[in-house]
Structure 1
Amino acid sequence: MPPCPKRLTRTLAGIACLSALALAGCTPSTAGYTEVSARHDAALPQDMPPMNRFGPERTDPPSRSNAEIARDFLDLSFMMESGRPIERLSRFEGPITVAVAAGAPATLGADLDRLIARLRAEAGLDIRRVGAGDGPAGITIETLPRDRMQRVVPQAACFVVPRVSSWGEFRRARSGGTLDWTTLQTRERVAVFIPSDVAPQEIRDCLHEEVSQALGPLNDLYRLPDSVFNDDNFNAVLTGFDMLILRAYYDETLRSGMTRAEVAAALPEILSRLNPRGNRSAGGRISPTPRAWIEAIETALGPGSSDRARIAAAQNAVTIARNAGWTDGRLAFSHFALGRLTLSSDVETSVAAFQRAAGIYDRIAPNGIQTAHVDMQLAAFALSSGRADEALRLTNAAMPAATRAQNAALLSTLLMIRAEALEDVGRASEARAVRLDSLAWGRYGFGASAAVGARLTEVAALSPGG
Structure 2
Amino acid sequence: MIALLGLTACNPVQNAQVSKNYTEAGTNGMGFAAMQSFGPVVTTRTQRANAETAHDFLDLEFRMESGRANPSFSRFEGPITVALKGDVPPTATAEMTRLISRFRSEAGLPISFAKPGDNPSITVEFQPRAQMARVVPMAACFVVPRVQSWAEYKAERDGPKVNWTTMTSREHVSIFVPSDAAPQEVRDCLNEETAQAMGPLNDLYRLTDSVFNDDNFNSVLTGFDMMILRLHYAPELRNGMNEAEVAKRVPAILARINPQGEGGSANFKRIAPRSWVAQVEGAFGPRGSNAQRLQAANMMLSIALAQGWQDARLGFSYYAKGRSLANSDPVQAVAALQEAARIYRAIPGAGLHVAHVDMQLAAVALAAGQSEQAIAFADRAIPAVKRAENASLLATLMLIKAEALQNEGQVAEARALRLDSLGWARYGFGSERQVRARMGEIANLGARGHRG
Instruction: Verify same fold: TM over 0.5.
Output: yes
1:389 alignment counterpart: 372
**Counterpart-to-counterpart distance in 1, 2:7 and 2:445:** 22
**Counterpart-to-counterpart distance in 2, 1:264 and 1:201:** 36
Report how far residue 270 of structure 1 moved: 0.6
- The partner residue of 1:262 within 245, 253, 264 is 245
TM-score by length of 1: 0.91
**Counterpart-to-counterpart distance in 2, 1:430 and 1:346:** 31
Give secondary structure in 2 for the equivalent of 1:191: strand
2:233 alignment counterpart: 250
User: Does residue 296 of the first structure (1) align with residue 296 of the second (2)?
Assistant: no
**Counterpart-to-counterpart distance in 2, 1:293 and 1:103:** 37
- The partner residue of 2:54 within 70, 76, 81 is 70
User: Does residue 116 of the first structure (1) align with residue 100 of the second (2)?
Assistant: yes
- The partner residue of 1:330 within 290, 302, 313 is 313
> What do the CA deviations read for 1:328-375 (whole angstroms, capped 9, x no partner)?
000000001111111111212211110000001111046611111110
Q: Is the 8 Å Cα contact of residues 11 and 286 (structure 2) preserved in structure 1?
A: no
Q: Is the 8 Å Cα contact of residues 19 and 234 (structure 1) preserved in structure 2?
A: no
Report how far residue 281 of structure 1 moved: 2.8
- The partner residue of 2:156 within 155, 173, 184 is 173
**Counterpart-to-counterpart distance in 1, 2:329 and 2:6:** 21
1:230 alignment counterpart: 213
2:10 alignment counterpart: 17
Mapping for residues 82-121 of structure 1, pairs under 5 Å: 82-121=66-105
Q: Is the 8 Å Cα contact of residues 47 and 348 (structure 2) preserved in structure 1?
A: no
What 5-or-longer segments of structure 2 have no aligned partner? none
Report how far residue 39 of structure 1 moved: 8.6
TM-score by length of 2: 0.94
In the superposition, relative to structure 1, how do residues 450 and 365 fare at CA in structure 2: closer, same or farther (>3 Å)?
Answer: farther
**Counterpart-to-counterpart distance in 1, 2:202 and 2:71:** 13
1:465 alignment counterpart: 450
Q: Is the 8 Å Cα contact of residues 66 and 282 (structure 1) preserved in structure 2?
A: no
**Counterpart-to-counterpart distance in 2, 1:234 and 1:211:** 18
**Counterpart-to-counterpart distance in 2, 1:300 and 1:167:** 30
Report how far residue 287 of structure 1 moved: 3.3
Q: Is the 8 Å Cα contact of residues 86 and 127 (structure 2) preserved in structure 1?
A: no
**Counterpart-to-counterpart distance in 2, 1:441 and 1:220:** 28
User: Does residue 185 of the first structure (1) align with residue 178 of the second (2)?
Assistant: no
- The partner residue of 2:419 within 433, 436, 441 is 436
- The partner residue of 1:57 within 41, 53, 61 is 41
Corresponding pairs, count: 445
User: Does residue 410 of the first structure (1) align with residue 393 of the second (2)?
Assistant: yes
In the superposition, relative to structure 1, how do residues 195 and 3 fare at CA in structure 2: closer, same or farther (>3 Å)?
Answer: farther
> What do the CA deviations read for 1:275-303 (whole angstroms, capped 9, x no partner)?
11111133333233111111121122224
2:255 alignment counterpart: 272
In the superposition, relative to structure 1, how do residues 258 and 231 fare at CA in structure 2: closer, same or farther (>3 Å)?
Answer: same
Report how far residue 2 of structure 1 moved: 7.9
Report how far residue 44 of structure 1 moved: 5.8
Task: Indicate the RMSD between aligned Cα atoms, in angstroms.
Answer: 2.2
**Counterpart-to-counterpart distance in 2, 1:306 and 1:433:** 37
Q: Is the 8 Å Cα contact of residues 4 and 20 (structure 1) preserved in structure 2?
A: no
**Counterpart-to-counterpart distance in 1, 2:4 and 2:354:** 23
User: Does residue 426 of the first structure (1) align with residue 409 of the second (2)?
Assistant: yes
What 5-or-longer segments of structure 1 have no aligned partner? 7-15, 25-29
Q: Is the 8 Å Cα contact of residues 375 and 395 (structure 1) preserved in structure 2?
A: yes
> What do the CA deviations read for 1:109-168 (whole angstroms, capped 9, x no partner)?
10010000000000000000124x322100000001001111222223211000011111
Report how far residue 201 of structure 1 moved: 0.4
**Counterpart-to-counterpart distance in 2, 1:111 and 1:73:** 27
2:345 alignment counterpart: 362
In the superposition, relative to structure 1, how do residues 331 and 97 fare at CA in structure 2: closer, same or farther (>3 Å)?
Answer: same
1:27 alignment counterpart: none
User: Does residue 149 of the first structure (1) align with residue 142 of the second (2)?
Assistant: no
User: Matched residues, percent identical?
Assistant: 50
**Counterpart-to-counterpart distance in 1, 2:354 and 2:37:** 23
Q: Is the 8 Å Cα contact of residues 49 and 265 (structure 2) preserved in structure 1?
A: yes
Q: Is the 8 Å Cα contact of residues 20 and 409 (structure 1) preserved in structure 2?
A: no
